Structures are given as structure tokens and as C-alpha cells.
Amino acid sequence: MHWADVIALNLSRRGTKHIVSTGITPSGEFHIGHLREILTGEMISRAAKDAGLEVDFIFIVDDADPLRRVYPFLDEEYSKYIGHQIGNIPAPNAEGKPDYERFNENGWNYADHFLNPFLDALKTIGVRPRIVKNLESYSSGMFSECSKIACDNADKIREIIERVSGRELSDSWFPWSPLDSSGSLEGVTVTGYDFPLVHFIDSKGNKGSSDITKGEGKLPWRIDWPAKWAWIGVTCEAFGKDHGASGGSYDTGKEICQLFGYDAPQPLVYEWISLKGKGAMSSSSGNTIGPMEALELVPPEILRFLIAESKPSKAIEFDAGMSLVNLADEYERSCARDLTLELSDESLSRRRKVQLEDLMGAVRLSSIERNSKSDSSNVSFRHLALLAQTKSNDQLVWDSLGLNSSNPPSSILIDRLEKMRTWIESPHFPEEMRIKIIKQAPVEMLQNFSDDEKLVLANLTEMLENCSWDLDTIASCIVDSAKSIEKSPRLAYGVSYICLMGAKKGPRLAPILVELNQQEIVNQFRLCLENVN
């Protein structure tokens, strides 16, 4: 069974109605690392629905969290907002400065500035959760009952956190963080509690009171999380390995949740997505590739497949270069296969059956719409990349693929080509696949040709001029031009790359040449031959 189906089976044993939850603090630009959490939750939700369960999938926006520091993408003016809730401060403008005008006109805040583009990306990949915003939930009283229980049981919660986490809390610790008169959660010390008021003194010595029923503050994270489980009724949640570590917030949350009269949800701990060669993605450091940026390069099904085909416990190293090409081609091949027929083979080993079942589940959960078929474009990304670089317009691409008015390209293939052209123009396109046919080979490289290289060039020019222009024949000509003088084909390829690309190596040559005009290629070789003599 696919990992999402395993979780769905476990949920079915606990009942028929479930709330699957994911969440995040929108403190900066969202990146595809964030997609792992929400897609993991969405895939569990979809698998549970496929199993006949009634599921509500929610996405919690932690906009009641404070701005913790002035991130590199923010102007220093934001230093005055450190400690303020991100749903209550202005969004940054293009220069990273607070956009007071929009904030005053329509309440355009910091959290929504980063959240809304991510929600747009989620729609594109078929994720439409019910949004729950923390700030609104606090102010509307949804946290009131749990907040009262927490404040009434401060000593019990202190004991749980210290025992389970192994860390000692300060004498001034209290399970409610009040907002001071300026709207900050920082530098506030609790001095007393009389429901519904938590009394405090702020960093400037000012005294005040915070009403927990009106959301004039918030619960600390280790209490806020289980409180949400309780008042929302969460039965399953996916979260990162930091929260799932021994003594982490899930371990303390399990016990704190009992004080609220609720059992902790079924957990699913996932590993991080990192950028190849750059480590874990981080919004605050700018080490990211955004979902919308990724969706300009590849179809949404590919990003879903990235999450679906990897077990949550497996770390994913994302690379918008060759790794993404390989993933896309794996998806295309998988969609084109009849996995049901393959599974019907009674001679398959148990291990092979498990592999096929996992792949079938991954393909199913990669479709944008539930219960819709994941279609293949029937053209590999490698070949499409080649055509997009060697053909000057789309029609020439369709001609090369044998598509015409009676057999037009599918909407899937049209979209694939559009994204491929964007990918080629981006810095993420792998250099080893980049095709650069030059008009004139560097004279200094040609003049350094050895006698053997000159002879190979002459042989190859004559062979290509008189051969039939197909993939196998072109490949044979390149090899035979070197073998005819008892030299390695590597010599012929080196000569060809210098003449056509001005480099000593490049991508596979025959598939490129077959898409180009035969006479133009021969003329290029003849021009090079003149310059070596």
C-alpha cells in the first residue's frame, strides 16, 4: 500500500469522520519545502476519502505568531515590529519597507502578503483546504476554553514541559503570552491571573491586563498546538521532524492535550526538502525556490509526484536541473504504463508487487483532481527540451513529432512545451542539456587540430553530406569517421562539439543533429575544414 493509504487505513480504525490538519507561520516567502507538509496532509485526506471516510482538510495559518527578527528581505524599519503579531503589521513593499498605505486602506498585512500567493499556487496543484487563521480564532473566542484550562493548570503544564522536554522553564513562565499596550508579545512578564484577565508588566515598567477570552495575547507554541487539536477536533496531522523529535512539541502536546479532554491526533512526521548543494530551504535566509517559480518550469503533477513517490521519512534533495528532468521523465513513463496489468502477473515477487503498488498510489495521488486519470504527454522531457532548443517555433516542434491538423498536439503537450521554453530561459535549466549551435567555430581551436582530428573532420563532412538524415545513420557516421582511421569515436565527438558548439563536449549529438537542417550542418563542417587547412 502507498504510505497515504496506510495512514488512511489507520484512521478508518478510529472512526469514519476525520479532520486532517496542516499549518504554517507565513513569516516569509513560501518555498516548495512547504509543499511537503500541505501535500502530505492533502494526500492523506485524499486517500482517506478513497477509503470511504468523511474528511475535512484544513490549513492553519499561524498569523498570531510574532515577527521574530528583521529578516534579510526586510528594511531595518521593521525592527519596531519585532514581537508584534504578523497578522497585525503592515506588509512589506517592493523595497522591503512597511506598506502603511495599503495597510491603512484595506488591512493588507504581513501574513497575507506571503500567504495569498501560496494559496494561489495550491489551487494550481489541486489543493483546496479550509483555511483557519489563528489571529481570528483567538479574537473570536475559539481558544477561550483551552486558554482558561491552560491558565488554571499552569503548574501541571509546567511539569509536563519540563519533564518531557528536559528543559527548565523560567520562574516567570506562564501558559499565556499577553500583548502589551503597543501590541508586542516580547518583554512582557506575567504578574498574576484572575480569569479572564492575565496581569503583566511590560519591558518599560507599564502594568496592564490581557483578556484571554478576547485574544489579547496567545498561548505559547507548545500549548497553542494541542489547543488547536482540541477545539478544532484534529484527528491526523503531518509535521516536520523538528516537532516530532523526542521531547519535542508533539511529545509535550500529547500530554497537554489530555488536560483539554482530547486525544492527540494520528501523527505523520516528514523529513525536509533541501536545495541541492545549498541545504535546507529557509524563507528567512532566502534559500528557496518558490512554488509559483517551480510551477512555471514544470507541470503541477510533477511537483505532486515529487512528494507522492517519496516516503515521508525520506529526505528530498530538490534540484531544478537534471534531477527535475529525471523526475519528470519518471512520471511520464509511469503514467504511460499499465500498472494494473503489470500487477496481475502472478510470477511477480512480493517485493516487486510492493514497488508497483507504491508507484500506482503515487501516480494516483499526483493527479490534480481526485479520481481523474494522470495523463502522459507521450514525449519525454529530454526530447521536448531538445526540440524546444532546436526548433524556432511551436509548429516546427509539432511537425517533428508528426502532429498536424488531423492529429493535433494535446493540451497537456502544449502546456509542457510552454513550460519547457520558460525553463530553458531560466537559470535552473541544466547546462549539460543546453544546446548552443554556433555560427562560427573558434578559429584558435580549429587551428590547434591534430592531423588525426583534421582527417576525422574531412571524413565526417563527406559522410554526413551523403547519408540519409536519420538518428541511427548520423550516429554511425560520427563513429565511423574515427574508426576509418582506427581511432576512438571520442575523437570524432570532440571534433564535432568544437565545430558546432565551440566546446570540447556537450549533450548527445545525433538526436540534436537529426532535428537540424542537414545542409546547414554540412556547410558548418566545411567552413571549419577550410579554417584548419
Predicted confidence (pLDDT) at residue 461 exceeds the cutoff of 60: yes
Which residues are CB-contacts of 43 (< 8 A; sequence separation ≥ 6)?
Answer: 4, 307, 308, 365
CA distance 44 to 36: 12
CA distance 438 to 432: 16
105-126 b/e (C-beta count within 10 Å ≥ 16 → b): eeeebbbbbbbeebbebbeebb
Q: What is the pLDDT of residues 509-520, one digit of tens each?
A: 999 999 999 999
Q: Give the percent of the chain with pLDDT over 70.
A: 97
Q: What is the pLDDT of residues 354-399, one digit of tens each?
A: 999 999 999 999 999 887 776 678 888 899 999 999 998 999 999 9
Q: What is the pLDDT of residues 432-458, one digit of tens each?
A: 888 888 888 888 899 899 999 999 999
| β-pair type (17-24, 236-240) | parallel
Write the DSSP string, 164-181.
Answer: HH--PPPTT--S-EE--T
- Average pLDDT for 272-281: 68
**What CATH class has 1-287?**
alpha beta
CA distances from 45 to 12, 22, 41, 348 (A): 12, 11, 6, 31
Q: Which CATH number fits domain 443-532: 3.40.640.10, 1.10.10.350, 3.40.50.300, 2.60.40.1120?
A: 1.10.10.350
| β-pair type (177-178, 217-218) | antiparallel
Q: Where does CATH 3.40.50.620 sit in the chain?
A: 1-287
Quick one: which of 185, 188, 182 has its CA closest to 205? Answer: 188
Q: What is the pLDDT of residues 15-47, one digit of tens each?
A: 999 999 999 999 998 888 888 999 999 999 999
Quick one: which of 195, 247, 251 has its CA closest to 225? Answer: 251
Angle subtended by helix axes 411-425 and 381-390, to nearest 10: 70
CA distances from 215 to 98, 112, 146, 212 (A): 24, 19, 12, 5
Which residues are CB-contacts of 336 (< 8 A; sequence separation ≥ 6)?
Answer: 376, 378
Q: Where does CATH 1.10.10.350 sit in the chain?
A: 443-532
CA distance 252 to 514: 63
* Res 278: pLDDT: 58
In terms of residues, how long is the chain?
Answer: 533
Q: What is the pLDDT of residues 128-161, one digit of tens each?
A: 999 999 999 999 999 999 999 999 999 999 999 9
Cβ burial of 384 (10 Å; 0-12, 13-18, 19+) is: buried
* Res 215: pLDDT: 95
CA distance 117 to 106: 17
| β-pair type (273-275, 316-318) | parallel
Which residues are CB-contacts of 224 (< 8 A; sequence separation ≥ 6)?
Answer: 134, 143, 218
- Average pLDDT for 99-107: 94
Q: Bridge-partner residues for 177, per DSSP?
A: 218
Tell me phi and psi for residue 388, to 5 degrees: -65, -25
pTM confidence score = 0.86
Task: Classify residue 94 as left (phi > 0), alpha (psi -120 to 50) or beta.
Answer: alpha
CA–chain centroid gap for 92, Å, is: 24
Task: Answer yes or no: are the C-beta atoms of 232 and 132 closer than 8 Å.
Answer: yes
Query: CB atoms < 10 A from the CB of 352, how many?
Result: 13
CA distance 89 to 50: 41
* Res 284: pLDDT: 53
Q: Bridge-partner residues for 237, per DSSP?
A: 21, 267
- Average pLDDT for 249-273: 96
CA distance 249 to 164: 9
Quick one: which of 228, 250, 227 has its CA closest to 21? Answer: 228
Helix, strand and coil in the chain, % to nearest 5: 50, 15, 35
Q: Give the percent of the chain with pLDDT over 90.
A: 77
Quick one: which of 507, 336, 505, 514 has its CA closest to 424? Answer: 507
- Average pLDDT for 307-336: 88
Task: Answer yes or no: are the C-beta atoms of 260 and 228 closer than 8 Å.
Answer: no
* Res 285: pLDDT: 52
CA distance 477 to 484: 10
The mean predicted confidence, pLDDT, of the chain is 92
Query: Cα dihedral sign for 390, 391, 397, 400?
Result: negative
